Chain A
């Protein structure tokens, strides 16, 4: 495998008295499709927020491809190759689908600063934008304003905007939330396909256990800001602690654990 893509060293975060990340030492290897799971409040989103620069790091270090990025601003991390999608749709509402995807393409290729050249002349950018739209299945909606899209299509666009930054490491925060089964299967197929192509390494937060176990090569289970279990889907499924807090489909188990 060689050098890990991203590592963290004693990464910690507190919201007041609540600990959402405690001394996390993590390694993400290139090309390993990883899922991040855990009960609500386990610190999944916090972890993504810390790694992508959404939240300032209170303690610990983050390295990306050997380079320390702990204090880098968001856009610099994106340029280095770390991007994310959001749990709640977070696109450019009044812009068209194509424009939404074009912004990260322009920024990445360093063309977004040009104040004189007409956008309609940027044929290379346009072609690349259409390729990304094709990947998420939104080519037919290219001139629709984002506000006019259905919920499922918005979720696809959300992922499309993240993909268009052509990240090396992409965090998807509940990419299929609120999608219908057809859209969900399509998106997951796309993610698998893109993961196989190997340019992007995916880390996915999911609640649907079927999705998690069918998709991932590695699963990290977080609980109260700590790593409860980290390994292959089989080893996670077999883990007693994980069963106790999480799986087994029994919600009352979860509650009992929390009250202790």
Chain B
């Protein structure tokens, strides 16, 4: 109970701080905060698959791209309403995740990882080569941020970055809340059981393959949401969203922040985006610097940033409680 109250307070404080960001800092930092939230949505959903269910996927960029292109096509051909556009993007990602997931969850571990990688790269080359439809390597350009119209009457503009920021923040909060609920739910416990011992889960009466598909699609949904928001933020959808290097980002971010907590991938996203910005000012090869940090984390601090911090916190408070 005590820990729950503490976590709720921390979450409220972070949310409050995030609300203040566009008023306190400059345009560029606001933009970076949005990038962090997008990666955070992507990673927090992805970590349901990796951290909770123990499945390593290298293909989630495909669902991210599905979200972006889904929103793009919907915006160009049907309606510019951003809420409907996001819904369309997410729907496209879910559809693709069901397709890819059904194929991939028949296998586990390295075979699962390689199948997701293969599927992701197929999606990438489809987007790359279907130039007439997707714009090929130019991507889908000219995606507009029309005002959000609610119930016909009210219309909220999101054209400026300072306005769009709150659009992103809304979905970010929703995503983190959803991921939190899922982790605390019976479904989340069943996933943890599958991660810990898949065979025993079957003997506990859990249809393991169906659960794996469910969490795969769920994580794909988060990826699709992040993708559709990025399409709105950058006004385009690019084939490299589906590339395996992009699929690796939530993996790296989750490892960096820590797999075993909700906050892990979020903190990881913040560090990732901030480090990329800082290191890129000094050198083109920012991956070299990031690689070194990741090396240190994996070799010395297995629990990631959050895992290490909570272990320290426990150590500091343990003697007092006894």
Contact = CB atoms under 8 A, between A and B. Distances in A.
B198 to A, nearest CB: 10
B142 interface: no
B186 A92 contact: no
Interface residues of A, number: 40
A91 B182 contact: no
A162 B203 contact: yes
A116 B203 contact: no
Interface stretch (B17-25, B100-108, B123-131, B188-196): B188-196
B290 to A, nearest CB: 29
Nearest to B187: A115
B181 A118 contact: yes
A42 interface: no
A136 interface: no
A102 B189 contact: yes
A243 B164 CA distance: 83
Nearest to A165: B205
Interface stretch (A14-22, A93-101, A184-192, A210-218): A93-101
Contacts of B184: 118-120
B201 interface: yes
A193 B214 CA distance: 40
A124 to B, nearest CB: 12
Q: How large is the interface on B (under 10, 10 to 19, 20 to 34, 35 or more residues)?
A: 20 to 34
Contact of B197 (A73, A90, A120): A90
Given A103-B190, A103-B201, A106-B190, A112 B206 contact: yes
Contacts of A250: none
A78 B203 CA distance: 6
B79 interface: no
B185 A103 contact: no
A162 B201 CA distance: 11
B185 A161 contact: no
Given A90-B197, A116-B181, A122 B202 contact: no
A92 B187 contact: no
Contacts of B205: 75, 78-79, 83, 104, 107-108, 165
A164 B206 CA distance: 13
A35 B207 CA distance: 30
Contacts of B187: 112-115
B189 A106 contact: yes
Contacts of B193: 92, 95, 99, 103
A103 B190 CA distance: 6
B27 interface: no
Interface string B202-228: 111111100000100010000000000
A26 interface: no
Given A90-B200, A102-B189, A161-B204, 5 more contacts: A75-B208, A86-B200, A118-B184, A119-B189, A165-B203
25 contacts: A52-B203, A74-B203, A75-B205, A75-B207, A76-B207, A91-B197, A91-B200, A92-B192, A93-B196, A94-B196, A95-B196, A99-B189, A103-B204, A106-B190, A107-B205, A107-B206, A111-B186, A112-B186, A115-B182, A115-B188, A118-B185, A122-B186, A125-B186, A161-B204, A165-B205
